[in-house]
Amino acid sequence: MRNIILLSILIAVAAAFLASSHPDGLEKVAESLGFLEAGVERSSVMTDYTVPFISHAGISTALAGMVGVFATLAVFWVSAKLLKKAAG
């Protein structure tokens, strides 16, 4: 299990430095179909997959990826505990 977590973190960090600065798929479709401006701006903890207080784009994105890995792990861990409790 520890190896999977370490591999996930490694992938998140490596992918951060390889990430494209172009819009993602949903944003590209909204732009090409002309309704991008109709969207409502919302604030977020990690807007555009970055950490606001870190100025280096690659490091900021890598840290956001690591937070995502741990958040996903936490959701699955809590879900597993709840399902195990409910089943047993």
Mean pLDDT value across residues 43-64: 88
User: What H or E segment, with its residue span, contains residue 4?
Assistant: helix 2-18
Name the average pLDDT for the chain: 89
- Over 80: is that where the pLDDT of 66 sits? yes
Statement: the pTM of the whole predicted model exceeds 0.75: no
Domain ranges (residues) in the chain: 1-19+50-88
Question: Model confidence over 34-47: pLDDT tens digits?
Answer: 998 888 878 888 88
The encoded tokens of residue 41 equal 């701006």
Q: 72: closest CA among 5, 6, 1?
A: 5
User: What H or E segment, with its residue span, contains residue 79?
Assistant: helix 57-87
